[in-house]
Structure 1
């Protein structure tokens, strides 16, 4: 499946500790066993609910998009509005906009429901060209995030 990746000039990786990194909250942040939550399989996170700060469910994390040349996570793909995955509207959310809540086993996104509804989205058969610098800059600006590659 083509998710809009091309060989155009790839974004550079952000420095460690940059504001584009995802925050982790909750009592499970430092557990004594296993690799997480700082390092975990992407499949562990896919399917997690995404809530706003008011506790409203915004959708479900469907995919995690990797910037392959830099090795960084670029976007979380949020699925919203369908029934059992059919008819979902998808949204590319800058990875740094999310906070992992280990207590509730969900992600938090600081956006109200109406603003998300008005965000540019796409469907499963019509993905945007995520490597396009203009598209990427617009997405990061909409969610108030610095580009992960700067």
Structure 2
């Protein structure tokens, strides 16, 4: 029987992991995890791309939580489940120009770009 176990991961642990592609290429690291203060859900993960990866410079990318595999065989590696081409063409932002203002459209755009449905908690 093949059983996977899922354990919580702290944001500080995630930030200290190396992010790699499915092809085992180092992409960068998780800079931050953004929370939706309305729903309590994870809005998106901020990926800090290493300057040598695809010549993107030190770009920050917002990706849906679902774009990552936190359950690999190595505890210090997180896999991003997105193609290199998708990452290369992704809209990004600089460390001194994070998205501001109402975030709902930005969060929806991030999920749409990467092809993931946005999970929304029910608000009563």
Identify the structure with the greater helix proportion: 2
Gaps of 5+ in 1: 1-26, 31-36
CA positional deviation for 1:112: 2.1
Return the TM-score normalized by structure 2. 0.77
Aligned residues, how many?
Answer: 114
Structure-1 residue corresponding to 2:47:
78
Please tell me whether residue 56 in structure 1 is matched to residue 22 in structure 2. Answer: no
Q: Superposition RMSD on alpha carbons, in Å?
A: 2.3
Deviation at 1:102, TM superposition (A): 4.2
2:108 alignment partner, SS class = helix
Relative contact order, CA 8 A, sep 6+: which one is greater?
Answer: 1
- The runs of 4+ residues in structure 1 deviating greater than 3 Å are none
What is the TM-score with the length of structure 1 in the denominator?
0.65
Are residue 101 (structure 1) and residue 71 (structure 2) matched? Answer: yes
- Quote how far apart the aligned CAs of 1:73 are: 1.6
